[in-house]
Amino acid sequence: MASDLHATFINKLIENFGDHQPITSRFGSHSYGDIADILCISASQFSKLSSGTATEGMYIRSIKNIEQIQEYEKVREENKLLEYKINTLRKDQTSTVRFTRRNLFSLIAVLLTASLSFFFLQFSNSKLTNKQELIDPSFVLTEFFDRDYRSEFMSPYVNVANAQQYCPCSAYEGMWTLENEYVIPLPGRKPGLYYLAKGLDQRLKCILSADDFQKGKRMIGFEQMYHEIWIDKNREPLTPKYFNLETKTYTEAFDNLDFEKNSNFELAAKIKSFQFNDFLLSDTTIRRIGEPTGRYASFINNELVEAYQIDIKDILQNVIGSALTFECQDAQNAFCDPNDLGEGSVLTFNCEYNISTENLGINGGYPYTKGYKLVKQNYSDNLLCDCKE
């Protein structure tokens, strides 16, 4: 049964991509890595499929994916042909063929049906090639990390041949998102401003230029993040309702804040930011050092900020940019064996930010937790490096 599925899989690849060239690891002009991307599987899984060592379920799913791609291309070509025909008929004013209203409606109906089919299959195919929709569609990291296999594209990730050489960091490469939202109270002339972390898109990759000591242990994270600034229209102080001065912890009321459902709060602005993260792995900990690169307001509630005299530019440049300093403890490494890392794994950093111009009344640092969740792992096959240093 498995051998039959393997043969079917290879034949489907030949139909869709071209002749098989085992020596150069290609089907037609497409490399194994290109095809793995379009099938939404790892390069190591594709290696198993092409060599005949994959499971029956892997073959069935991959064959169905190829058939969907073929159907998508077929409908797209049919749609192009119909568009060409209708444009030709419109331009051919001297033709002796006369369209009756019935003829025109019939052609429009066919074109509409084809277009809907094309849209549906395009949507289905996009789900195959992009497993997770980004929080904000204007984020552009996917353009550099997840291009369509047909495009002229060089992947920034470690290739399969060097995955063992850059172990364990090759297991961490891929797409990471924010595990949970978190809130930071902002300083200002009056209390009641809050900085809500809504989501992020981070891509982790190994640093190929790392020295021998850090090779396979040092990574860079390209992080796009967006926040929201909310205002408490009552301008209620942080303490004692939201922060316990004795324990230096937030209260239950703070943890349960839901700005969207609380009529006392109103959205003042939406903020987008970008930063680089430097990660260093050890067998027990993961160090992260972030370096902000830029941030801007993508939306401002002008009427609200004028009424409450909120200077968004000052907040971005002088409050978040200068007044706040962020420090995070090393995360505990729960993935000393990199093979324990997989989609759904979380890296948790307990952090604290301090305010150089203290005016929130708690005399110290403000805690928050930032968790990164792995949602799309680039390499998931077995890694052989020893998890102990």
User: What pLDDT, on a 0 to 100 scale, did the predictor assign at position 174?
Assistant: 94
Q: Which residue has the higher pLDDT, 29 or 102?
A: 29
DSSP state, residue 245: T
Which residues lie across from 44 on neighbouring strands? none
For residue 51, list its beta bridge partners. Answer: none
CA dihedral 331, 140, 164, 152 (to 10 degrees): 180
Average pLDDT of 330-355? 92
Q: Is the pTM of this model over 0.75?
A: no
% the chain with pLDDT above 70: 79
What average pLDDT does this structure show over 24-48? Answer: 79
In this structure, what are the phi and psi dihedrals at residue 282, rounded to the nearest 5 degrees?
-130, 180
Interhelix angle 101-129/56-91, rounded to 10 degrees, is 150
Chain centroid to Cα 262, Å, comes to: 30
pLDDT of residue 386: 76
129 or 207, which is more confident? 207
Q: Indicate the range of 33-47, 72-86, 249-263, 296-310 predicted with least confidence.
A: 72-86
Band (pLDDT 50/70/90 cuts) for residue 88 is low
> For residue 377, what pLDDT is reported?
93
Bridge-based pairing of strands 174-178 and 30-31 is: unpaired
Residue type, 191: P
- What's the average model confidence in pLDDT over 337-356? 90
Instruction: Quickly list DSSP for 140-203.
Output: -HHHHHS--TTSS----SPPGGGTTTTTTGGGT-EEEEESS-EEEEEPSSSS-EEEEEEEEEEE
Mean pLDDT rounded to a whole number for the chain: 81
